[in-house]
Structure 1
Amino acid sequence: MAYRRALTDGSLPAAEAPGCLSALRLMVADRDAPGRLVPKALEAGVAGCREEVRTAHPGGGRPVHVLEQSLPRDVRDLRRGIRQRTIYQHTVRSGLTTLAYIERVTTEGAEVRTLAEVAGRIIVFDGDLAFVPFSDEPHRALRIQHPALVRFLARHFDEAWARAVPVRPERVPLRTPVVTSDPQRTILQAVVGGETDESIARRLGMSRRSVAEHVRRISERLGSNSRAQLGCLIATSGLLSGLLEA
């Protein structure tokens, strides 16, 4: 079959692909190779979703072009009764583009929450299909249908969801006390653990400059003269036992 060959080879000449594959969104144009089509199982998963889709996105705000592509599809699915739950990192709350997208989809019934850290990208359709990143290659994902693995990923998402903070753009200011304290607590814990600013920034989806500013402020507050001393002072100061004020 043409689709099986496309899955094996990675792409297929457009002239050799039956029209039904494109009509069903099983094959889409390859942006890097004009005239060829690539299999897009993710689109098929979206189209076949019956009840709920769970998604988790690490990092900060999502690119504009990705949100523009996602919005019509997400609104369409919400209007056909699909429940959508999404977890982002707290840093999206300061991104106007992502907040505008969130406001639009939550108006349609989507539910969005944020955490200080999101371990990895996950998409789970209903309880029988999931996608996770395929190694470090961009725009490629591993399709998972094994029932036990899908259930595991769904439970992992639900546990993170229970700890996450709801986003309500029309009611919540861009910077809430919860959002301010949670990343700061994580930064302090990372400093105690010996992590660098670059490593912390990568984990939290923040800029290195923002992390460095947090560290500078707490260093001045505690009177630290070195990174090693700062870690020790944080650990013994009691700051981690309560919320750090902005």
Structure 2
Amino acid sequence: MAPATAHAQLLMPAIRELRERQAVINDVSSHLMELMPIYEDSVLKRGRTQLLHRLEGVDAVRMALSELSARAAREILTSQPGGPRPEPVLKEATDRTIGVLERGIRMRTLYQYAAQFHQPTVDHASLLVEHGAQVRLVTEVFMRLIVFDGEVALIELADNPKGALVIRDPHVLHFLVRAFEGAWAKALPFPLAYERDQVLRSSEEIKTAIVKLLSQGYDDKVVAKRLGISLRTFQRHLADIMRRIGARNRLHAGYLLRDLDIFHEKAVEQQKR
């Protein structure tokens, strides 16, 4: 067979298919451009002119996160309280986060103590670190927070956990960034593999936080929620605290721990052993 004949028989169908696909791409692109005026008048667009703006649903929050991530130019700060994150949430965030990091945007993320024992969260943190992010652990995270370039932030709505408040007020942003930096300075590196010394140190920090919160009058459920641990884990730590200080019951423990320095001394002795 002549090469020209073979060329016609083998390549022309593929060339026709390529041309058809290009026509479809051009058509879809044209329709999407027609939608731009509608988008520019969307809720998110109007929200850019407001210092505080509510997003009421998951879809609205995801759209805002996607746009703000794409527009980020310098750094993204993230605080994720509550211990382990649900796997679908981690999966949904992975592609967006990796895309940001591959553009050279700096990213710092805070997780709570319990997150280090949840393998999907550990895997997600490992992937972020592999792409250049920094991830640390804290005992108590103040709120769910994402800050983009110090210019806009999202926090969780108090009356709607599926929504978010978009903040552009420079004074509020300054406070949020300062609070994040304070927590970051005290945080430990996220252990991507089991490290006995760090696990022990984290355990001591969680016990100290439990003592502090109980001394402030919070009940067991509130303390566990603020520290991002289960009630059972809280009770296990409390039992260890009572054993360490020699308390016979909760009332006795309260008396012994009237001075928090007592617990700190016991903790230091425990670490030396």
TM bin (shorter chain): 0.7 to 0.9
Q: Which whole-Å deviations, capped at 9, do the CAs of 1:67-117 have from their partners, x for residues lacking one?
A: 111111111111110111001111111111100111111011010011100
Q: 1:217 to 1:122 in 2, by over 3 A?
A: same
**Deviation for aligned residue 1:2:** 4.3
Unaligned ranges ≥5, structure 2: 1-36, 45-56
Q: SS at 2:161's partner residue?
A: coil
Q: Distance in 2 between matches of 1:174 and 1:91?
A: 16
Size of the aligned set, in residue pairs, is 220
Structure 1 CA distance, aligned partners of 2:158 and 2:43?
17
The Cα offsets for residues 152-189 of structure 1, whole Å up to 9 and x where unpaired, read as: 21122112111111124147459622211100111122
CA contact (8 A) 2:110 2:135 kept: yes
Of stretches 38-47 and 65-74 in structure 1, the one that deviates more from structure 2 is 38-47
Please give the alpha-carbon distance, in whole angstroms, between the structure 1 residues aligned to 2:113 and 2:234.
Answer: 14
Post-superposition CA distance 1:100-152 (Å, at most 9, x none): 11111101101001110001011100021111112231221111112222222
Q: Which residue of 2 aligns with 1:243?
A: 267
Matching residue of 1:12? none
Alignment of 1:199-214 (within 5 A): 199-214=222-237
Q: What is the CA–CA distance in structure 2 between the aligned matches of 1:66 and 1:223, rounded to whole Å?
A: 43
Displacement of 1:5 after TM fit?
A: 6.9
Greater RCO, CA 8 A, separation 6+: 2
Q: Deviations over 1:204-240 (max 9, x none)?
A: 1111111112222332344434322211112357123
Q: For 1:90-101, list aligned pairs within 5 A.
A: 90-101=113-124
Tell me, yes or no, if the aligned pair for 2:245 and 2:263 is still in contact at 8 Å.
no
2:152·2:173 contact (CA, 8 Å) conserved in 1?
yes
Q: Which runs of 5+ in 1 are unaligned?
A: 9-29, 32-36
**CA 136–173 in structure 1, closer or farther in 2 if over 3 Å, else same:** farther
Q: Answer yes or no: is the 8 Å Cα contact 1:6–1:38 preserved in 2.
A: no
Moved over 4 A (4+): 1-6
TM-score by length of 1: 0.80
Matches within 5 A, 1:1-246: 2-3=38-39, 7=43, 38=60, 40-170=63-193, 172=195, 176-236=199-259, 238-241=262-265, 243=267, 245=270
1:57 to 1:174, Cα distance in 2 relative to 1, 3 A: farther
Instruction: Give the aligned residue type for 2:99.
Output: R
Give the letter aligned to residue 65 of structure 2: L
Larger Rg: 2
Measured at CA, do residues 4 and 194 of structure 1 come closer, stay the same or move farther in structure 2, by a change above 3 Å? Answer: same
Alignment-mate amino acid for residue 250 of structure 2: R
Q: Which moved more, 1:53-62 or 1:158-167?
A: 158-167
Alpha-carbon spacing, 1:52–1:38, altered in 2? closer, same or farther (3 Å):
closer
Give the conservation status (yes or no) of the 8 Å contact 2:244–2:266.
Answer: no
Letter in 1 for 2:43: L
Would the alpha carbon gap of residues 76 and 38 (structure 1) be closer, same or farther in structure 2, given more than 3 Å must change? closer
Indicate if the aligned counterparts of 1:55 and 1:86 stay in contact, CA closer than 8 A. yes
Deviation at residue 6 of structure 1 after TM alignment: 5.2
Q: Is the 8 A contact 1:189 1:240 kept in 2?
A: no
SS at match of 1:139: strand
Shift of 1:190: 2.4
Amino acid at match of 1:64: E
TM-score (norm 2): 0.72
For 1:174 and 1:62, how far apart are their aligned partners in 2? Answer: 24
Of Structure 1 and Structure 2, the greater helix share is in: 2
| Percent identity between the two aligned chains | 31
